[in-house]
Amino acid sequence: MHGIEDLCEKCEEVMQPFLDRVLSDTERAEAERHLDECGYCRRRYRFEESLRQFVRGCCEEPMPVELKRKLAALRTPLT
């Protein structure tokens, strides 16, 4: 017999492969079944998705214009 806590633990274990879409069909279906009935896990999955987006956003740092010019200057001159 598996209690709900075992199922949540399993769900936590497969969260990353689930969100990366690399779970097998069977594992995916199993996780989805649990997520349908478990708000605890559902909230944590949703949070992970927003967190990933947030981390990406935080890493946006435009390239300095000066660097762009330096890179272009490295091109082979046309003869």
Partner 1 sequence: MGETARDSEPRQLASEARDRVRFEEEALELADQVYRVARRLVSTREEAEDLMQETYARAFRSWRSYTPGTNLRAWLLRILTNLNIDRGRRKQRAPAEQPLEEGDYYLYNRLEQSSRDGNVDEERVLERLSQGDVVDALSAVPHDFRDVIVLVDIGDFTYQDAANILDIPIGTVMSRLHRGRRILKRELAETAGGGGE
Where on the chain is the footprint of partner 1 (CB under 8 A)?
12-13, 15-17, 22, 43-44, 46-48, 50-52, 54-64, 67-68, 70-72, 74-76, 78
Tokens of 63: 């390239």
**Which of 12, 32 has the CB closer to partner 1?**
12
Question: Minimum distance from CB of 37 to partner 1 (Å)?
Answer: 17
Q: Say which DSSP state 43 is in.
A: H
Question: Minimum distance from CB of 2 to partner 1 (Å)?
Answer: 18
CA distances from 7 to 21, 50, 51, 57 (A): 19, 23, 23, 32
Question: Rounded to an integer, what distance in angstroms lies between the CA atom of residue 5 and that of residue 12?
Answer: 10
**Which of 26, 62 has the CB closer to partner 1?**
62
